[in-house]
Amino acid sequence: MQFIDQARITVRGGRGGDGIAAFRREKYVPAGGPSGGDGGCGAPVVLEADSNLQTLLDFKYKRLFAADDGRRGGPNKCTGASGKDLVIKVPCGTEVRHLRTGILLGDLTTPGERLTVAFGGRGGLGNAHYLSNRNRAPEKFTEGREGEEWPLQLELKLLAEVGIIGLPNAGKSTLIAVLSAARPKIADYPFTTLVPNLGVVRRPSGDGTVFADIPGLIEGAAQGAGLGHDFLRHIERTRLLIHLVDAGSEDPVADLNVVQQELEAYGHGLVDRPRLLVINKQELVTEEDLPRLRQDLEAASGRPVLCISAAMGTNLDQLLAETWAELGV
């Protein structure tokens, strides 16, 4: 399934039904008077969060969503039927903004949460509304009003408690595959992962925590290099970051600084987010060099460093213990 995390759509509320001009026609009632009914209201457009959706792919091919119009009024003061609400399903974590102004209209994070983005038009009035002492047989009626129409920007931010970040080939996909049932594509070349992957890791209490594997950053991502830093939006909602550094890299300290600079360039408070610094692929470094590498990273980052091997399954229990401690589990 193709992963789409941004979409532009147009929503249009239904048009209100027209009122009508009609008169009561009944035996033995020579002057029945006006009896034109009102038109029904146009239907609104409503967005609803659905936990079964993970992408905005549905909005890639359909851009205009128009709700049903209201029905025209009937005789005998019968009001026309109102249109049925147009409910559009979106993934949990979708932000809705006005396309031109960028104003945030809503943030749908809870399954079943709804947001009305375009109201339908009001129905017109029938001639029964214009009966007065001066005019006993009015023929005036009004037409229904047009519904609202707005251009919208939909932006998906995945709901994950833990985000795994690092340069390409740091072992992020391997780690999430080992810890959870997720099966991302894994290969020995950069940018194997092109979209975020989610995996559920079981807590000691028995329930699950969502981990997100974010595509690798490179130097200059803030200026659009590589995949850019667009996917960093998916860790804005995380409570904890796991920063993986490849032990087999030519300069792990430089790799650490690259990711740090990109987090600062992106902003949104990611630099200040609680973070675990982890050396991955420790089997690529000799036992004599590993302590020195660990000390260099601790000196450069000012935080403790944990050594693991996702492929070999080394020290993963310690990593999870540190994660649960940071999350307060």
Give the mean pLDDT of 111-126: 95
Model pLDDT, residue 270: 79
Q: What percent of the chain has pLDDT over 90?
A: 33
Q: What is the DSSP string of 40-89?
A: PPPPPEEEEEETT----THHHH--EEEPPPPPPPBTTTBPPPPPPPEEEE
Query: What is the reported pLDDT for 122?
Result: 95
How does pLDDT run across 166-203, given as a tens digit for each residue?
888 888 888 888 887 656 555 444 445 556 777 778 88
Q: What is the pLDDT of residues 60-84, one digit of tens each?
A: 888 999 999 999 999 989 999 999 9
pLDDT at 190: 47
pLDDT tens-digit map of 28-52: 877 788 999 999 999 999 999 998 8
* Of the options 3.40.50.10320, 3.30.450.40, 3.40.50.300, 1.10.101.10, the CATH number for the domain spanning 162-327: 3.40.50.300
Token digits for 252? 């792990």
Q: How far is 228 from 149, CA to CA, in rounded Å?
A: 33
Assess contact for 73 and 124: CB atoms under 8 A: yes
**6-156 with 162-327: one CATH topology?**
no
State the average pLDDT over residues 202-225. 72
The domain spans of the chain are 6-156, 162-327
46 burial via Cβ count (<10 Å: 0-12, 13-18, 19+): middle
DSSP symbol at 143 = P
| Nearest C-alpha neighbor of 243 from the set 227, 252, 256, 228 | 256
Q: How confident is the model at residue 229 (pLDDT cuts 50, 70, 90)?
A: low
φ/ψ region of 232 (left if φ > 0, alpha if ψ in -120 to 50, else beta) reads alpha
- Report the topology of domain 6-156: Spo0b-associated Gtp-binding Protein; Chain: A, (2.70.210)
